[in-house]
Amino acid sequence: MQLEKSSAQERPLFVGFAMMDRVVAINPTKEDLAEVLNYDLKNDAKDLVYEAKNDKSEEVLTISVWMEAQTAEKQKFNHRFRFVDKVVTSETSGKKQFVNQSGMSTWVDSIENLPSWFTDFRDKNGNLVTQDKDGNPLTGKKKCREAIQGEADFYNFLQAWLGKANFFSEKTNILFDKDKMFRNLDNYVDKTYRAQITAGSDSLCSPFAALAYVGVVEKDGETKMYQNMYSDFISSYKFKKFALAMSTKDWSVDKAASKWHEQATGKYGCKGAYEFCMLKPFDPSIHQVASDNTFKEEGNGPATPPSDISW
């Protein structure tokens, strides 16, 4: 099967890993988005909706993140995090997903059975942290709760974006307030996340890596393609090992890279056309069917980062 680019497609499409220099907008208005993407806003342009209810009358929120890549053209990429106000439960095991204040997630049958590595504050050497740098006592326990749908993916992004934050500190807490967020999303996003784009960017934020892929759908007898980003974002520090894995085509060189690769290529991984290389324009002619819903190539294109990529 070959794919042909839709004539209606206006923006160029890309595949591969991109180093994102910064976040440029979160839940922008239609006017803000036109400015970010540098286009003229049409008179009939509709307002962007980030709060709604699904067909089950469940509350649904969207946090739309626009990122700028470290490329000469400063391409902009978007990823939407979708939250549904319901606890995540495994259909097979019945276990629930839990999240903690450091942005970690795990699956257990009850909160009492959460493992110590998830609930305890430990330093980089694995030692239990019981006091701060001034010798003041700490609880040593992380705040934990049941996760709602879509929440764990969002914390993965925050960990990558807020790369300068100390996630070993008890003072760091990235759990969002569900009650405030679901009742006043725009205000919550403005005070909590948009502020990081400006005031907190120098002290907390850092470049991060994301895998760009092209979604492919059949609609009205025509193949439609759209730009998307895989939801598992990577800190710039971790991505050094990913670059090595790509150059050697051996993902076992690093445990974290191997786990990421396994998930991305697995049943619930990246859905679309993708390549494990540095960012490059999408060429639909080289993507063949690999499964019912995934088009992939392990590496047509440069596997190692260009010299102008900063770490």
Residue 199: what pLDDT? 59
Per-residue pLDDT of the chain (311 residues; tens, 9 = 90+): 344 444 444 678 999 999 999 999 999 999 999 999 988 888 888 888 999 999 999 999 999 999 999 998 999 999 999 999 999 999 999 999 999 999 999 999 999 999 999 999 887 788 888 777 778 777 779 999 999 999 999 999 999 999 998 888 888 999 999 888 998 899 999 888 988 886 545 678 899 999 999 988 887 778 788 999 999 999 998 999 999 998 888 999 999 999 999 999 998 888 889 999 999 999 887 765 433 444 455 543 333 333 332 22
Cα distances (Å, whole numbers) of residue 46 to 10, 50, 201: 19, 12, 30
Give residue 204's pLDDT.
86
User: Which of 154, 169, 161 is CA-nearest to residue 236?
Assistant: 161
Per-residue pLDDT tens digits for 207-265: 999 999 998 888 777 878 899 999 999 999 899 999 999 888 899 999 999 999 999 99
pLDDT at 307: 32
The secondary structure of residue 311, as a DSSP letter, is -
Beta bridge partners of 49: none
Q: Give pLDDT, residue 1.
A: 35
pLDDT at 306: 34
In 3D space, the residue among 279, 151, 262 whose CA is nearest the CA of residue 212 turns out to be 279
Q: What b/e sequence results for 119-138 when a residue is b if at least 16 CB atoms lie within 10 Å of its CB, and e otherwise?
A: bbbeeeeeeeeeeeeeeeee
Q: What is the Rg, in whole angstroms, of the alpha carbon atoms belonging to the chain? A: 20
Q: In terms of Cα–Cα distance, which of 278, 273, 292 is closest to 4?
A: 273
